[in-house]
Structure 1
Amino acid sequence: MHIKFTNKGTTLIISISGELDHHSAEHLRQKIDAEMVKATTRNVIFDFSKVSFMDSSGVGVIIGRYRNIQNLNGKMAVVNVDSRIGRIFEMSGLLNLLPVYDNIDDALKNLGA
């Protein structure tokens, strides 16, 4: 798994490549939490365009970061979700929590970033 962070103002864009599973979830959580402390993060966008697999551990990472952002009165969104990952979002209830956008620009506009 590879993680790339991009800051756009107070929005942290997290681009993930590879598999988001029980082998990589804790590493991802630690990296995101450290990056959020360094930056003045208020909003988060997860870019799933290069995620090939996600299991319940990945869902846990997303929900945990969602709670952190909520505590900051911020917003969170996901972009570039394919049908396989979208099904996991649907079954886990993440679609009830997070807006899904086609691309980063749409998410930035809708988050007010």
Structure 2
Amino acid sequence: MAFRLETTRRPGAVVVSPFGDLDVRSAGMLRDALTELAGEDTRDAVVLDLAGSDFIDSSALGVLVGSLKQLEAVDRRLGVVSTKPHLVKVLQITRLSDVIPVGDTVEDVLR
């Protein structure tokens, strides 16, 4: 399956849904999408919904760190939605879950 991203807008948030592995091959596409969203003139949070992904590596984690900094610089938030324990565990082990809200739903992340 080829990697792809879908973006949907809802009140208070832009949800980015990757489909496929988040790795060195897809990190650039994710970075470009999140950078573009960070440049928008809005207060909406950016939420990464990992329902369509089963793998995340250090290159994609680095993209999350960079995006968090970009969004915080313009007083916006980044969150991650995942119900997959192995993905949540990666975010916990790397301590990204200490600085990026992680929840089961977009609503959980926006609270």
Q: Assess same fold via TM > 0.5.
A: yes
**Which residue number corresponds to residue 84 of structure 2?**
82
Preserved contact between residue 42 and residue 72 of structure 1 (Cα < 8 Å)? no
- Offset at residue 31 of structure 1 (A): 2.3
**Which residue number corresponds to residue 33 of structure 1?**
35
Where in structure 1 are there 5+ consecutive unaligned residues? Answer: none
SS class of match (1:19) = coil
Looking at structure 1, the residues matched to 91 and 10 of structure 2 have their Cα atoms a distance apart, in angstroms, of 25
- Scaled by the length of structure 2, what TM-score is found? 0.85
RMSD across aligned positions (CA): 1.8
Preserved contact between residue 81 and residue 100 of structure 1 (Cα < 8 Å)? no
Q: Does residue 106 of structure 2 align to residue 104 of structure 1?
A: yes
Read off the aligned partner of 1:27 and give its amino acid letter. Answer: M
* Structure 2 counterparts to residues 41-56 of structure 1, below 5 A: 42-56=44-58
Read off the aligned partner of 1:24 and give its amino acid letter. Answer: S
Greater mean deviation of Cα atoms: 89-98 or 33-42: 33-42
Q: Does residue 10 of structure 2 align to residue 8 of structure 1?
A: yes
Deviations 1:85-107 (Å, cap 9, x if unpaired)?
Answer: 11211121111111111112333
- Offset at residue 19 of structure 1 (A): 0.2
**Which residue number corresponds to residue 61 of structure 1?**
63
Higher strand share: 1
Preserved contact between residue 43 and residue 75 of structure 2 (Cα < 8 Å)? no
Read off the aligned partner of 1:101 and give its amino acid letter. Answer: G
Aligned residues: 109
- Scaled by the length of structure 1, what TM-score is found? 0.84
Where in structure 2 are there 5+ consecutive unaligned residues? Answer: none
Percent of pairs identical after alignment? 25
